[in-house]
Amino acid sequence: MTSKAKMNSDKKTARIVGVLFLTAMVASLLGGGLVESIISAPDYLIAVSENETQVIIGALLELINGIAVVGIGVLMFSILEKYSKRLALGYLALRIIESVFGCVVVLSPLSLVKLSREYLKAGASDASSFLTVGTLSIAERAVVADLLIPVFLSLGALLLYYSLYQSRLLPRFISVWGLIATTLILTLNLLLTFNLEVGIGLGLIFALPIISNEIFLAIWLIVKGFNSSAIASPSAKTG
């Protein structure tokens, strides 16, 4: 492949990765919002039954997020391996794990749809058993969505921004911004893990930097792509 063709290929990869970052973010936020607004209701099984379409759409959006996440990992591996195969493999592995958990959380709302139908058919004497199963399903989803996914997302982001900083594939301020933002998300996750009270305002302070960073990163990749000089001469290779 000629250098010009290679450059065009890398630019196309950058654009696709940028689109996938935006897709993952929108699908995750919108899908999670649609599902959580229903299953967090006091009478959640009735709410699920009355809003089946919304729950299913939300679950499908979360599934799209999981697919987009693994797509980012695969495409970025082809770029990052030129600088450090070890870091590239680590990033790909973390994104695959995150994607698996992202798909696992879909099982809970879909199972609640089925459970809600049976719940409405059951008599009052059987209602408590359905509620117990539903509560366990929601609790399992919460562990995955609120703990496991943020952990692997953050670890993957740390590897990505460290690799981008070392390779100079993007302006270093984007990488530094991403590293700081990821540290904030890990801190927030730690606080929530220990059941420490975090208000909406403080939660936004911790979350907005990574949200704005990923949006900026995605737009940069779509519009400008990777640094052509860094692509042409991967001098930062670390093994």
Distance in angstroms between the alpha carbons of the first and the last residue of the chain: 24
Q: What's the pLDDT at 128?
A: 82
Q: State the pLDDT confidence band at 174, using cuts at 50, 70 and 90.
A: very high
What's the pLDDT band for 147 if we cut at 50, 70, 90? confident
What would the pLDDT profile of 58-85 be if each residue is shown by its tens digit? 999 999 999 999 999 999 999 999 899 9
Q: What is the DSSP string of 165-206?
A: HHHTSS-HHHHHHHHHHHHHHHHHHHHHHTT----HHHHHHH
Percent of the chain at pLDDT exceeding 70: 92
Q: Is the pLDDT of residue 235 over 60?
A: no
10, HSE (Cβ side, Cα atoms, 13 Å): 23
pLDDT at 1 over 60: no
> For every residue of 4-64, which 3-state class applies, written as one string?
HHHHHHHHHHHHHHHHHHHHHHHHHHHHHHHHHHHHCCCCHHHHHHHCHHHHHHHHHHHHH
Q: What pTM was computed for the model?
A: 0.90
